[in-house]
Amino acid sequence: MDKENRIKVAHRAMLISGIFCGVVALLLILNFWNMKQHEPLESEAIEALVQRLSQEPNNEVLKEEIRSFDLLARKAYFTSKWQIKAGTWLLLIGGIVLAASMKIYTDLRAGIDPPEALTEGLLKARANAQYWLFLSGGLILGLSLVAGVLTNDYLNEYDRMAVSADPAVEQSDVEVIEVFGAEQSSENATPDPESPSEGVSVEEAEKSTEESLVAAAPAPAVATVSSGAFNPNDFKLNHATFRGYMGLGVSYRKNIPVDWNGPSGKNIKWKVAFSKPGYNSPVIWGDKIFISGGDKNGLVVTCYNRNTGQLLWEKEVKDVPGSPAAMPRVTNDTGLAAASLAVDGKGVYAIFANGDIVAFSMEGKQLWGRNLGVPNNHYGHSSSLQVWDNMIVVQYDTNTRGRMLALNVTNGESVWDVQRPVHISWASPALIEVDGKIQIVTSADPYVSGHDLDTGEELWKVEAMMGEVGPSIAFDDGLVFASQEYARTLAIDPKAPESYVWEDDEYMSEVGSPVAYDGLMYMATSFGVVVCYDAKTGEKQWEKEFDNEIWSSPVIADGKLYIVDKEGITHIMKADKSGTVIAEPELGEQGFALPAFADGVVYLRGTKNLYCIGN
């Protein structure tokens, strides 16, 4: 490209980036001005409603109206918060491009005319133009950034205005149990995960005996595991996949704790810092608990003794045929290890955002690995694995094509591999039983569909979803439940999928999956509202508003509903029509993963540590 063309390209880039920065800056300033001019708390309508409520404290219809105003304000708050954050980054990027293109343009133009042709007047005009251009651009940038920073946080103001909230049940103080390793002898002490030089190496951990560790620390009851032929009861006794048994969010474990505090250590049996980040939820088989992690330097699968927190092994994923040389680009809120693992007692199976799927033995030996092709995914792959009857089910819907496949757990070879008429999805496959036969049910744009487990053949489908589908399905008493923000929430009878059993468009889930149990269906929205429906009719039973965003999925354990919000607070409620809040213990760090359960304990993964919680 000659010099003249380079000048034209730089000039166009300068104009486009300048216009882009101006538009984004103007939108940010308008957003700031609009919020200042229309502060939610100054609404005459809501002031009138609150005034009426003080005179009619038992008016339930009035309370419902105020709740609706509050809900709209929360939605507006989270939307504005995202707009400001995104706009600020776009403005910064646009400003960098503008500055770079201006520098290139002026450098190239400086050598076009010979020196004698440059008059003093022309030089002054150029300098004056550059001065005013930089001054006006800097002024717009400064005003927009100030507008973004000064935008009010109305969420705290609305918290003070809440009309009705069930008081949490008071919990009796429980004796604090020290974090594992604090009072043990040096012979059996847990290595400090933040001090690699003092940690147990993978080889040493493999040589150590699990029996000595269990003897050193009394453990809760361990799920028995059958050997030999496939036994579905093994999966009920363990927490083998994302959302537990069959991927439906209902645990069969008992005596699950409701009272803990991460910062003080109350009821924290142990916690351990993991080596690489990941949003996947822990899975359990017997005495072992597994997570995965990944960053630009590598991918790992990690195994701990779930009774003590002792690192048993951590293995790097390597030597996978077809694996790309570099990690794909993913967003920070998805990462490289968002998909949860699956475990069946024979092996543990993991999938990552670069398309690698691998199997390790329970002792940490890599058994096989293959690459499914780097997924064309603009956030990063997050569909978790499902395992059943010696097959691993993978939902692999990308921007390129819809695809689902089943792999043999022994060697990773495809049992079946089918293409699907759907668009990209971040949901995970779940299993349901219909007339004594297991089906795989998935949610994607535009279909919720059921497939034969043995062949992958499509058995039924309902056109119901749209957009970026993240939530997986729920199932109870013969009905499938699906939801997606900007689409709908609905119930489907897989035996008669021609029409919906019921549908609702008041509340839809964006990230978290619904859960169904004992005639009720529960769902959490990303903007902090949890809602309960009658599973058969769709009639709303109750709704609760919480302070923080919720990206995790609600799950059921021991007759209670557990919901982890973004700030690591677990909202524990009775799983019934009352909507009673039992407790709201905090972890002390952000939370995105789902809890995993065993008898007497709950396991929670924060952004830095894995916790074991028990009374």
Per-residue confidence (pLDDT) for residue 140, from 0 to 100? 62
**DSSP-assigned beta bridge partners for residue 351:** 357
Of 107, 140, 160, the residue at which a domain comes to its end is 160
pLDDT-derived band at 574 (thresholds 50, 70, 90) equals very high
One domain, residues 151 and 200: no
Q: Which domain holds residue 106?
A: 3-160
Per-residue confidence (pLDDT) for residue 385, from 0 to 100? 98
Buried-state track 179-195, b at ≥16 Cβ within 10 A, e below 16: bbbeeeeeeeebbebee
Nearest CA to 418 out of 465, 450, 380 is that of 450
Could you read off the pLDDT of 246-263 as tens digits, one per residue? 999 999 999 999 999 999
Contact, 180 vs 309, CB < 8 A?
yes
Token pair for 300: 């790992």
pLDDT-derived band at 488 (thresholds 50, 70, 90) equals very high
With a cut of 90, say whether residue 303 has pLDDT above it.
Answer: yes
Tokens 């496949």 correspond to 405
Task: Find the CATH number of the domain harbouring 508.
Answer: 2.130.10.10
Q: Indicate whether 242 belongs to any domain.
A: yes
Q: What Cα–Cα distance (Å) separates residue 613 from each residue in 180, 187, 258, 597?
A: 11, 24, 9, 10
Could you read off the pLDDT of 358-369 as tens digits, one per residue? 999 999 999 999
- Torsion from C-alpha of 532, 538, 540, 541, nearest 10 degrees: -60
One domain, residues 420 and 535: yes
Q: Indicate whether 187 belongs to any domain.
A: no
Looking at 83-87, 223-227, 321-325, which range is the least confident one?
223-227
Of 160, 188, 212, the residue at which a domain comes to its end is 160
Which has more pLDDT, 175 or 44?
44
Per-residue confidence (pLDDT) for residue 520, from 0 to 100? 98
Per-residue confidence (pLDDT) for residue 201, from 0 to 100? 36
Rounded mean pLDDT, 442-454: 97
Of 98, 132, 160, the residue at which a domain comes to its end is 160
> Would you give the distance in Å from CA 357 to the centre of its chain?
20
> What percentage of the chain carries pLDDT values higher than 70?
74
Enclosing H/E stretch for 442: strand 437-443
Cα separation of 137 and 133, whole Å? 6
Cα separation of 200 and 190, whole Å? 8
With a cut of 50, say whether residue 191 has pLDDT above it.
Answer: no
Name the domain count of the chain: 2
Q: Indicate whether 170 belongs to any domain.
A: no
Per-residue confidence (pLDDT) for residue 165, from 0 to 100? 35
Could you read off the pLDDT of 192-209 as tens digits, one per residue? 333 333 333 333 333 333
Nearest CA to 221 out of 250, 256, 249 is that of 256
Q: Indicate whether 184 belongs to any domain.
A: no
Per-residue confidence (pLDDT) for residue 364, from 0 to 100? 98
Q: Centre a 10 Å sphere on the Cβ of residue 234 and count the other Cβ atoms it contains.
A: 18
State residue 130 phi and psi, 5-degree precision.
Answer: -65, -40
Per-residue confidence (pLDDT) for residue 72, from 0 to 100? 67
SS (H, E, C) 20-50: HHHHHHHHHHHHHHHHHHCCHHHCHHHHHHH
Contact, 242 vs 343, CB < 8 A?
no
Q: Centre a 10 Å sphere on the Cβ of residue 336 and count the other Cβ atoms it contains.
A: 25
Could you read off the pLDDT of 499-536 as tens digits, one per residue? 999 999 999 999 999 999 999 999 999 999 999 999 99
